[in-house]
Each structure stands twice: as structure tokens, then as C-alpha cells.
Chain A
């Protein structure tokens, strides 16, 4: 069945460092891909999405490109801030449900 694999955390960075969180997927058909962010004690917020191959989703300085040839959707940000500390979930959707990765915790230190 469909599945999503994320790099294990926690990822600890200093402020203004470059961020990459790896995400790969297995799916039949043509899924859409999403990144959600969960701040401490809160629900999930949509961060960005891409609906077809080679699409780039972007929001708040974060970017991810839908790579069909490598089945990947890595999340990147050029300069992280302390306020980016959260858990990031990669997910795919090929029908009615979202299939999530296990999440990657990011901790940004001042």
C-alpha cells in the first residue's frame, strides 16, 4: 500500500542555518503531496502542497519540489528561525485519506 517515510529526528539547528527534512513516498497512481506543521500543543497546519510532478510548493520561506523520478518531496528552508521549532509531517493523498509519515521534530536554537 501507499506509504511515506521521513527522516528521523530530532533535527537540531542553530538559527539561520539551512534546513532539509527528507521525505520519500511509495504510491500507486498520481498522489498529491503535502507538508503539515504541528506547533507544541496544537493541531496540524498546512504548510505547503504540490499536486503533480515537478510542482514546487512554497510558503513562509519553506519549499518542497515533487520529484516523481526519485519519489521524494524534501522540505527545505534557507534560514531557520527559533519560531520554526515544531514537528513537520510529510503526507500523500491519492484518494480520500492522507497517509502521513511519522513526523520530524525540529529544534532551532538561538
Chain B
């Protein structure tokens, strides 16, 4: 069966510091990968998605970036964190060739709670 891991589970960082969040998927090959953010008391917003190694699409302009160095690894980064980057970051994966089929289900990891002070 497939498993998705995220770490760290919780992170407290000062404003202006760098960020690196990691997501890995086990038990599948060539998954589509996604980063979502959940701001306090709000729904989820897609930040980035990837259909293959080195292929990253950005949904919203911001000071975050994403990379996919390996097939089942997805990293979310920032060079300098802002207060507004605080939130709950969720990684998700889906099977399939493009990720664009409406029927494809996305499966979420346990999330990383980030607090920027």
C-alpha cells in the first residue's frame, strides 16, 4: 500500500529564516505531487504541483518554491520566511499520468504545522 510522509511535524521559525519541508511517497511510482497550505480557520489552497522529476507548476506567486529532485520526493522551500507564511502545509499525491483527470483522487500526508515569529 502507498504511504506519504512529511517532516517535520511542527516547526517554529523566525522571520527571515530559510525553510525546507520534505514530503516522500512510498509504494508507488511516478506519482503526481502537490503542496497545499491551510491558513488558520480557512480552507486549503494549492501552492505547487508536479507531474514528474524537475517539473514544477506554481499556482500562486509568493516567496515559496518547490523542487522534485527524485521521483517520490517533493520539497517546499523559502529563502526568507514571512509572518504570513505561517500555516499548515499539506503534501498530497495522486496516481495517473497527468493528474488532470477529475476522477483522480488526491491522498494527503499528515502535514507540517509552521509558525513564523
| Same complex origin of A and B | yes
> Which A residues form the contact surface with B (CB < 8 A)?
29-32, 34, 36, 42-46, 49, 51, 89, 93-98, 100-103
Mask: chain B, 40-67; 1 = CB below 8 Å from A; 0 = not: 0011111001000000000100000000
How many A-B contacts if CB must be within 8 Å? 54
- Chain B residues within an 8 Å CB radius of A34: 105
Pairwise interchain contact B111-A93, C-beta atoms closer than 8 A = no
Number of B interface residues, CB 8 Å? 26
- Chain A residues within an 8 Å CB radius of B90: 43-44
Q: Does B102 contact A (CB under 8 A)?
A: yes
The 10 closest A-B pairs by CB, nearest first: A100-B43, A44-B108, A32-B102, A43-B111, A97-B46, A43-B110, A102-B43, A43-B108, A96-B99, A96-B100
Instruction: Say whether, besides A100-B44, A102-B42, A42 and B102 are in contact (CB < 8 Å).
Output: no
Pairwise interchain contact B42-A43, C-beta atoms closer than 8 A = no
